[in-house]
Amino acid sequence: MGRSRDTIGGMIAMLRGRLLEKSPNGTIVECGGVGYEATISVATFAALPPEGAEARLYIYTHVREDQIALFGFAQPEEKRLFEKLLTISGIGPKLAITVLSGIDAGRLVTAIRGGDHATLTRIPGIGKKTAERVVLELKDKLDDMAAAPVVGGAVSHGAAADDVLSAMVNLGYARPVAEKAVEAALGKQPALKEEFEGLFRAAMAGVR
């Protein structure tokens, strides 16, 4: 009767309905009078429309013996990268979504293809051994994924700040605008230097 914790469920592939709530790590979409709660990445959060509007999410259904959890993605490419991460020993759905929130998809693909362990280990929850496994097992399996262009010359304000900057650029903000927003947020709240989600919220608020 029980199912393995690693079972990939195909119960729900996509949701389209009214967006009831959204936050950087979760959302509720109403479909046919039922509210479906899904865990999302920062990139998907930024891509969602305002609350009350119609939204569409590509869904990964994770089935365990004691629960069914939904993970939503604004783009099918992000879902595919999420599923590839799940093939790595030691990476479950929650860590995979954390990875996709901590670094934009294109930069992640670039780091894996290039064997950039230093960048990978800066992602929350990814240690040296896990980074090595990710590179070893996925390096030659990302041919269908778009890599990010190499951009240099920026002054680093720490790992969290760099990841917030990358996430904002990936979401379509011009790099100079994103850099100013991150710097302004750190100027007002220096304690956010090591806190990705708090710094992301503050920087996003600065460009709205």
pLDDT digits (tens, 9 = 90+) for 87-113: 998 899 999 998 888 787 888 888 898
Task: Show the tokens assigned to 139.
Answer: 């390096």
Percent of the chain at pLDDT above 70? Answer: 88
Q: Among 90, 86, 111, which residue's Cα sits nearest to residue 166?
A: 111
Say what the pLDDT of residue 208 is.
63
Say what the pLDDT of residue 3 is.
41
Cα–Cα distance for residue pair 42/25, rounded to 1 Å:
6
Q: 3-class SS at 207? A: coil
Q: State the residue for tokens 């956010």.
A: 192
Say what the pLDDT of residue 196 is.
83
Cα–Cα distance for residue pair 105/8, rounded to 1 Å:
22
Say what the pLDDT of residue 2 is.
42
- pLDDT, one tens digit per residue, over 79-94 is 999 999 999 988 999 9
Q: Domain 7-73 in CATH: superfamily?
A: Nucleic acid-binding proteins (2.40.50.140)
Say what the pLDDT of residue 119 is.
86
Under-70 pLDDT residues of the chain: 1-10, 146-157, 174, 208
Entry pTM: 0.67
Q: Domain 76-138 in CATH: superfamily?
A: 5' to 3' exonuclease, C-terminal subdomain (1.10.150.20)
Say what the pLDDT of residue 107 is.
81
> Does CATH number 1.10.357 belong to domain 159-206?
no
Cα–Cα–Cα angle for 94, 179, 148, nearest 5°?
55
